[in-house]
Amino acid sequence: MLSAAILGAACAPKGPQAIPADSEVEAKVEKVLKGMTLEEKAGQLVQLNISVLEDDTREAIDPAKLDRIIGQYKVGSILNVMNDHCHSREVTAAMVRQIQEKSMEKIGIPCIYGLDMIHGASYLSDGSLYPQEINLAATFNREYPRLMGRAMAYETRAAQVPWVFSPVMDLGRDPRWPRIWESYGEDPYLQAQMAREETVAIQGENPNRIDLEHAAVSIKHFMGYGVPVSGKDRTPAIIAENDLREKFFAPFLACFRAGALTAMVNSASINGIPTHCNALLLSGWVKEQLGWDGLLVTDWADIDNLFNRDHVAADKHEAVAMGINAGIDMIMDPYDPECCNVIIDLVKSGRIPESRLNDAVRRVLRLKVRLGLFDKPNWDYAYPEFASEKFARESYAAALESEVLLKNNGILPLKENASILVTGPNANSLRTLNGGWSYTWQGSADDYVPQYNTILEALQRRFPKVTYAPGVKYAGEDWQAEDASGIAAAVTAARGADVIVACIGENTYCETPGNMDDLNLSAKQKELVKKLAATGKPVVLILNEGRPRLIGDIEPLAAAVVDVMLPSNFGADALAALLSGDENFSGKLPFTYSKHINALHTYDYKVSEHRETMAGSYNYDAVMDVQWPFGFGLSYTEFAYANLKVEAGEFKAGDVLKVSVDVSNVGSRAGKEAVLLYSSDLVASLIPDVKRLRGFEKISLEPGETKTVCFELPASDLAFVGADGRWRLEEGDFRLSCGGQAAMVRCTETKVWETPNI
């Protein structure tokens, strides 16, 4: 509470500005602020869900409700949650138009509407979807988050909405957590690189002047949300302070520096402090240390969670005061406009200082000015690329590069004339290819876009002899419910086939409903695979799942394994092209695929954790006993690495290391290869990670072709956060490795940074 009080006053940026201040923007903000009443100010800090405005059809606004919410309470923001139905672009645009007209009439300040666009225009029934972030991470190709971000912003704007709650950058370091597929995987560098691309693509190059084809991001969920001790969503995390700064903050830092205009706060807690009242992180790390003048919005009803769930506040008044004084600028209080009156009371009684109120209001106004909403609360602008072929082609290309070949004993590519049994609960489902955040919150692609192909349909189009027997089906409301009554029929069908393509994994879920108690793939699906394999026919496992469900006992039964994760509407077409050999695989895992329930690792473990190194002899290339390691993925061709070189053998903290490696395609077909550069700090004052990803490039190679891949690695990237919380680079040896090659370099000075971030 002490730190909250100290940091709770107006957080005038003290550090270097993360987003350069623009005098015109600031002048407009001050002018509007001056004319506002306390009621109007309080309203700006509140965000409600669209359901409080909808009429009974849920396709239009109820004018009386609009009068109450905007006219009386003067609420400044609305968000859209699609639990069981989804609006078209036209309906969304018409609703927003009405809200804006009322807002301008009653308050003279535009409302800001935000949407959960997670993998493209997730919440428009007629927009474009791309593979989920976890798939884009598997491409190791920065082009795809860029393309998706651009399309997402463009189509969202086309629906008259200027704000998306994306990108997600929670490090997916615990496979039990149900949201790991929403982000770019387990590694801070990969996550930071991809999220930064997406942020700039969504917002454009100038965060002070967002044009009509771009939108504001809300980077989320700040921070440490992805590693709950229990593995369950929205439950407490325990994170060492150095890890918090060095790993969890990294993607947020990259995005704040790239101009991210808003951030959404982690719904749970770190080390006992609910993030929504963590003044040190919200006001300290972000607003003061980065000089960031953007807006912090809560997650869903999370101020209420301070008293309802976490019991750090006695009642709503205390919770609102704690949150706002800690640095929250906008409260997503989905159904309760009375929150406005709570803020008014708290300001009148002095529990929220007026300076903090005005600072928060400035941040809301600044966002609206930067988005051009005062000039154009609505806009007439043509969006010819909405739902275009171009976006569809990009989505397909991303899916192609994201599906990961994990095992192949030679059965793939499938023979043209093979008779193929397609089976499994994921074989004929579009919903499972998309996952959650697809048309509705929990995912309902089959209801909205039946025109796209399921895996069964795509294989039927590509191969002449395809039969189908699902074996196991998803059954009913509960995403974990399964009906295994078809196993016998599938086994009979398998006897007449040359090869079995078993599409297994998970039904769709999102957030807390995705919690579960056993990371193993379901017993019924395992039984299906075991019985199919017992026929003696080769089994190709297609994993269609949001997190790596354990398959240690059935993997040895498979002739080939492909993890398609959540590749979206064109994922099945991409898979058919890959299985047939029309295209080549190039995806690599952006997470560790664990094998044992008591051995859930990430790739950057401590050397001592490895069995081979327990005796003290370090092996930096050792891999834990996992199913498949981070960065693993096969191809139909083969690549050979040679000549890893570092330009200078010694370096100092301010240097940039120039690293190069030759990569050759030594197989017989063209292919793409993600080239991954790692470093290992051999001796450090805190136990170093065995290795860390420091660079990646995706290249294309014809058979027989060699390319030299060059990395420019700032020496400061090799620094770590020490026991005192400060960044340090220590004198000593580092090992750089890439594709089985390694080179040693030596840092000749120790440097400790005075600033909290490098």
Token pair 């190059």 is found at 205
Q: Which is nearer to ligand BGC, 232 or 691 (CB)?
A: 232
Q: Which is nearer to ligand BGC, 178 or 688 (CB)?
A: 178
C-alpha pair distances (Å), 14 with each of 127, 309, 627:
41, 34, 48
Binding status of residue 302 toward ligand BGC by CB under 6 A: no
Q: Which is nearer to ligand BGC, 165 or 468 (CB)?
A: 165
Token pair 């309203």 is found at 43
- Torsions phi, psi of 476, nearest 5? 85, -170
Q: How many CB atoms lie within 10 A of CB 20?
A: 12
CB of 224 to ligand BGC, least distance (A): 14
Interface with ligand BGC in residues 58-77 (CB under 6 A): none
CB of 297 to ligand BGC, least distance (A): 9
Among 128, 203, 267, 275, binds ligand BGC (CB under 6 A): 267
Here the tokens at position 754 are 């005075």
CB of 301 to ligand BGC, least distance (A): 8
Among 299, 310, 446, 573, binds ligand BGC (CB under 6 A): 299
Binding mask 74-103 for ligand BGC (x = CB under 6 A): -----x-x----------------------
Cα–Cα distance, 104 to 94 (Å, whole number): 16
Binding mask 101-140 for ligand BGC (x = CB under 6 A): ---------------x------------------------
Cα–Cα distance, 251 to 223 (Å, whole number): 10
Q: Which residues of 255-289 are buried (b: 16+ CB within 10 A; e: fewer)?
A: bbbbbbbbbbbbbbbbeebbbbbbbebbbbbbbbb
CB of 510 to ligand BGC, least distance (A): 8
Q: Which is nearer to ligand BGC, 299 or 394 (CB)?
A: 299
Among 163, 165, 591, 678, binds ligand BGC (CB under 6 A): 165
Q: Which is nearer to ligand BGC, 111 or 578 (CB)?
A: 111
CB of 461 to ligand BGC, least distance (A): 36
- Torsions phi, psi of 211, nearest 5? -90, -175
**Partners of 455 in the beta sheet?**
none
Q: Which is nearer to ligand BGC, 267 or 584 (CB)?
A: 267
Cα–Cα distance, 483 to 474 (Å, whole number): 6
Q: For the chain, give the longest Cα–Cα distance.
A: 79
Q: Which is nearer to ligand BGC, 396 or 437 (CB)?
A: 437
Q: Which is nearer to ligand BGC, 230 or 492 (CB)?
A: 230
- Catalytic-labelled residue, pool 116, 126, 293, 299: 299
CB of 300 to ligand BGC, least distance (A): 4
Is residue 687 left, alpha or beta, with left meaning phi > 0 and alpha meaning psi from -120 to 50?
Answer: beta
Q: Is 299 a catalytic residue?
A: yes
Among 209, 300, 722, 751, binds ligand BGC (CB under 6 A): 300
CB of 51 to ligand BGC, least distance (A): 12
Cα–Cα distance, 100 to 61 (Å, whole number): 12
Q: CA 718, 738, 707, 675 torsion: positive or negative?
A: negative
Binding status of residue 511 toward ligand BGC by CB under 6 A: yes
Q: Which regions of 181-340 does DSSP assign to beta strands (E)? A: 218-222, 262-265, 269-270, 273-274, 295-297, 331-332
Q: Which is nearer to ligand BGC, 509 or 720 (CB)?
A: 509
Strand 466-468 relative to strand 420-423, pairing: parallel
Q: Which regions of 83-142 does DSSP assign to beta strands (E)? A: 112-115
CB of 75 to ligand BGC, least distance (A): 16
CB of 183 to ligand BGC, least distance (A): 11
Side chain identity at residue 419, one-letter code: S
Gyration radius of the chain over CA positions = 26
CB of 220 to ligand BGC, least distance (A): 6
Is residue 476 left, alpha or beta, with left meaning phi > 0 and alpha meaning psi from -120 to 50?
Answer: left
The angle subtended at Cα 525 by Cα 405 and Cα 423, nearest 5°, is 65
Cα–Cα distance, 275 to 267 (Å, whole number): 7
Binding mask 207-236 for ligand BGC (x = CB under 6 A): -------------x----------------
CB of 602 to ligand BGC, least distance (A): 23
Q: Which is nearer to ligand BGC, 100 or 305 (CB)?
A: 305
Q: Which is nearer to ligand BGC, 136 or 164 (CB)?
A: 164
Cα–Cα distance, 154 to 160 (Å, whole number): 10
How many residues touch ligand BGC (CB under 6 A)? 10
Is residue 259 left, alpha or beta, with left meaning phi > 0 and alpha meaning psi from -120 to 50?
Answer: left
C-alpha pair distances (Å), 413 with each of 196, 212, 494, 499, 669:
36, 45, 19, 12, 12
Report the catalytic residues: 299
Binding footprint of ligand BGC on the chain (CB under 6 A): 79, 81, 116, 165, 220, 264, 267, 299-300, 511
